[in-house]
Structure 1
């Protein structure tokens, strides 16, 4: 079976916010062929994980309706430990996410953005 999710180290959930500490194991399927000389976690995997964990911990709707304000700033490399912060805005039906890690004493922001989610049968 191909591994697609990181190792969850710990998580906290409070109201509409979740924070997860993840180890992005080097044997995750998404690293295969992306890229041979400099492996990095593709943005599509980061978005997939944000939606997956938001559904699991914040009970968000499952249908992806679009992205806005997305930035991929620093690559996530194999075996990195990152923090995924998720905030669900029920009124706007928007999920904000951010991947960060500590680089020495500096907080590195790997990716951030907002996405619109809805029930699978919801009309826009």
Structure 2
């Protein structure tokens, strides 16, 4: 039986008061690849959004239970096992943040989250 992991390998690249840049290495044995899809695994968008929320809580101290909306959510290119992606989180306004997943494969996902 394979031991699954639930998070990407994380490296903090840059951090300021309103911006965080993280390098994520997507492991082959990531739990979220199970059944999504067996022949060609891809990282589900819901997992990407979950990571955004967790890293916003971790690096900006946000209470993510006060989420009001996810706006301009776009998934441009799939994320596969073994990819290295950069996740950039940026505070736009006191309760509004943007996120962007990108790699040498292009931009993978982006959007904005708004909190109460």
**What does 1:40-119 correspond to in 2, within 5 Å?**
40-63=42-65, 64-91=67-94, 93-103=95-105, 108-118=106-116
Q: How far apart are the structure 2 equivalents of 1:36 and 1:43?
A: 17
1:68 counterpart SS class: strand
Runs of 4+ with deviation above 4 angstroms: none
Cα displacement (A) at 1:58:
1.6
- TM-score calculated relative to the size of structure 1: 0.84
Q: Which digits, 9 at most, give the CA deviation of each residue in 1:69-120, with x for residues without a partner?
A: 01000000001000000012343x11210000014xxxx10000011224xx
Cα displacement (A) at 1:65:
2.1
Q: How far apart are the structure 2 equivalents of 1:94 and 1:42?
A: 23
Q: How far apart are the structure 1 equivalents of 2:6 and 2:91?
A: 23
Gaps of 5+ in 1: 119-124
Q: How far apart are the structure 1 equivalents of 2:8 and 2:68?
A: 24
Gaps of 5+ in 2: none
Q: How far apart are the structure 2 equivalents of 1:18 and 1:101?
A: 16
Cα displacement (A) at 1:2:
4.5
- TM-score calculated relative to the size of structure 2: 0.89
Cα displacement (A) at 1:48:
0.5
Count of paired positions: 113
Aligned Cα root-mean-square deviation (Å): 1.5
2:59 counterpart SS class: helix
1:53 counterpart SS class: helix
Contact 1:83 1:100 in 2 (8 A): yes
